[in-house]
Amino acid sequence: MGQSGGHTMKQHFDIVVVGAGPAGLNAAHAAARAGATVALLDDNPRAGGQIWRQGPGHAPQAPLQRLLSAIGDRGNTTLWPSTRVVAPLDSRRLLLESAEHGGACVTYEHLILATGARERLLPFPGWTLPGVSGAGALQALIKGGMPVRGERIVIGGSGPLLIAALATARAAGARVVAVVEQAPAFDVARFGVSLLAEPGKLRQAVGMTRGFAGLHYWTGSMVEAAHGDGRVERVTISRGHAERRVTLECERIACGYGLVPNVTLAQALGCTIGAAGEIVVDGGQRTSVEGVFAAGECTGVGGAELAGVEGEIAGLAASGGAADRAALDAQRARWRRFGRRVDAAFALRDAARTPPADSTLLCRCEDVSLGEVREFANWRDAKLQTRCGMGACQGRICGTAASLYFGWQAAAPRPPFSPAPISTLMAANAAPPPAE
């Protein structure tokens, strides 16, 4: 796979894929097979997305290696690692900021959004203490080489990701003292039984939960507060309706309430967004905007298998490649059914939807508390009056929480989506207007 060339400030590709996780890699592979020139961008230094994250002690997983070598063999895909989309420009152009090349402008015939999902991180008293992270975040940090050997960790929130985080933390030598799941025992058990229909997923689950003995797995429970002096030292957990509280000593708390699609770029392009915050696509993974496709978790959370199939379909549709569409459609339907079972089992219950105490910080960038924000009628007013959501993360963290608690429609972040040097922003103007 070639690296993006020299100091070139503008390049044209048949297809630009944003995101090099399972969806983006499969999309790029399908498009490359059809003979298209492809650029595959990712803001991380290495391909693989969250699920195939590599690091010291975490060699590239087999499916990632297969895809990367298959894409590399074709020779028509350019990989742009550590590259962010700063802004979409008119006439099918994207303004990029790349660690290697600085500012750049690429043009495309077709764009495939494979921007994935992020964790839904919900505030609780003490969640700003160092040592508190998301559950997927803990996995990512460990895979990046963060030492946790001997640390006591409490994992909380909701969904299968908690079990994956448990497996990663244990393999790295941590002592996971409790997994705190907000969904009730009945729904979690029913989901477990439903895994019998997907033997591969069942094997995965059994492998990850091996040796559950000695670990508290508490359902219908919530991480209520983190305590410590400059660092996590203890956690309070509320258990069930009886309002029973348990306090445990720990060095880390990893808490995430499922995933939310990343749609910032899609919104800026004008793509229709659905009720669950996902990019709306048709059977060919086309968005509502001409020439723009989307695949994977950004079109609705359903796991890596679903993302892979959707990526394949998007890559084929965008490049006009030939395929057995019926077989791909059937696979997509199967993994969407699985995704719906996950959704039903781990849907957020009232306790998770109820805001914590007013003194809890909602916006970590500007240090705005829930109490300061809740009196306003909508997100816009809250932002203007309190600066909530106007900091470095552009409301990506607090906007998600505010939307859950208050039903507020968070405004889309505006370009530039990430801090970019002035030279990059000038690259947008340096690019000549394309010939029509």
Partner 1 sequence: MHRSGDASVIRLTIDGRSIDVESGTTVAAALVLAGVRSTRTSVSGEPRAALCGMGVCQECRVTIDGRAHTLACQALCRDGQIVRTDDSAGTP
Q: Using the rule CB under 8 A, is 371 a contact of partner 1?
A: no
Q: Which is nearer to partner 1, 15 or 51 (CB)?
A: 51
Q: Least distance to partner 1 from the beta carbon of 403, Å?
A: 15
Q: Least distance to partner 1 from the beta carbon of 230, Å?
A: 5
Contacts with partner 1: how many residues (CB under 8 A)? 48
Cα 144 from Cα 137, distance rounded (Å): 10
Q: Which is nearer to partner 1, 130 or 434 (CB)?
A: 130
44-83 footprint of partner 1 as x/- string (CB under 8 A): xxx---x---xxxxxx----------------------x-
Give the pair of three-digit tokens for residue 51: 């699920």
Q: Which is nearer to partner 1, 171 or 333 (CB)?
A: 171
Q: Which is nearer to partner 1, 165 or 222 (CB)?
A: 165
Q: Which is nearer to partner 1, 316 or 388 (CB)?
A: 388
Q: Which is nearer to partner 1, 55 or 63 (CB)?
A: 55
Helix (H, G, I), strand (E, B) or coil at 236: strand
Taking a C-beta distance cutoff of 8 angstroms, is the pair 81, 45 a contact?
yes
Q: Least distance to partner 1 from the beta carbon of 311, Å?
A: 19
Interaction with partner 1 in 209-238: which residues (CB under 8 A)? 230-231
Q: Which is nearer to partner 1, 30 or 174 (CB)?
A: 174
Q: What is the CA radius of gyration of the chain?
A: 22
Q: Which is nearer to partner 1, 131 or 220 (CB)?
A: 131
Q: Least distance to partner 1 from the beta carbon of 86, Å?
A: 13
Among the candidate windows 155-163, 169-177, 307-315, 335-343, which touches partner 1 by CB under 8 A?
A: 169-177
Among the candidate windows 28-36, 65-73, 125-133, 155-163, which touches partner 1 by CB under 8 A?
A: 125-133
Interaction with partner 1 in 126-165: which residues (CB under 8 A)? 128-134, 136-141, 144-147
Cα 322 from Cα 308, distance rounded (Å): 17
Among the candidate windows 42-50, 62-70, 182-190, 425-433, which touches partner 1 by CB under 8 A?
A: 42-50
Residue 279: strand pairing partners:
273
Among the candidate windows 86-94, 171-179, 294-302, 372-380, which touches partner 1 by CB under 8 A?
A: 171-179
Q: Using the rule CB under 8 A, is 419 a contact of partner 1?
A: yes
Find the binder of partner 1 among 31, 39, 318, 365 (CB under 8 A).
Answer: 365
Interaction with partner 1 in 383-412: which residues (CB under 8 A)? 391-393, 396-397
Task: Indicate the angle between helix axes 160-171 and 135-143, nearest 10 degrees.
Answer: 30
Q: Residues interacting with partner 1, by CB under 8 A? A: 43-46, 50, 54-59, 82, 99, 118-119, 121, 128-134, 136-141, 144-147, 171-173, 230-231, 364-367, 391-393, 396-397, 419
